[in-house]
Amino acid sequence: MKQSRVRQANNRSIKGELRTLTKKVSDAVAAGKIDEAEAGLKLVAKRLDQAGSKKAIHKNSAARRKSRLAHSIQVAKTKK
């Protein structure tokens, strides 16, 4: 029982950080700050890969999120 609670706490912390970082990148894209968004994407991609390897989230979910963020930045670049 204790082990599952420890893992739950770790996973919750990781997922919370991912939500925060992802939102920062999305907000930067929405504001048109492409350079800031690209820098944030680099960090988000690293954290998503780490979360996927630790099984806090599924690795395909991590890949999908990275892809969607990168696509949103690319779309914002072409609109500029």
Per-residue tokens: 49: 């890969």
**DSSP string computed for 4-41:** HHHHHHHHHHHHHHHHHHHHHHHHHHHHT-HHHHHHHH
Residue 1 has pLDDT above 90, yes or no: no
User: What's the pLDDT at 39?
Assistant: 97
What the block records as the tokens of 9 is: 């706490």
pLDDT tens per residue across span 65-77:
999 999 999 999 9
Give me 31's structure tokens: 């504001």
Each domain of the chain, given as residue ranges in start order, spans 2-79
Check: pTM over 0.75? Answer yes or no: yes
Q: Please count the CA atoms within 13 angstroms of the CA of 20 that sit on its side-chain side.
A: 7
pLDDT, position 79: 85
Output the CATH code of domain 2-79.
1.20.58.110
Summarize pLDDT for 32-71 with one digit per residue, the tens. Answer: 999 999 999 999 999 999 999 999 999 999 999 999 999 9
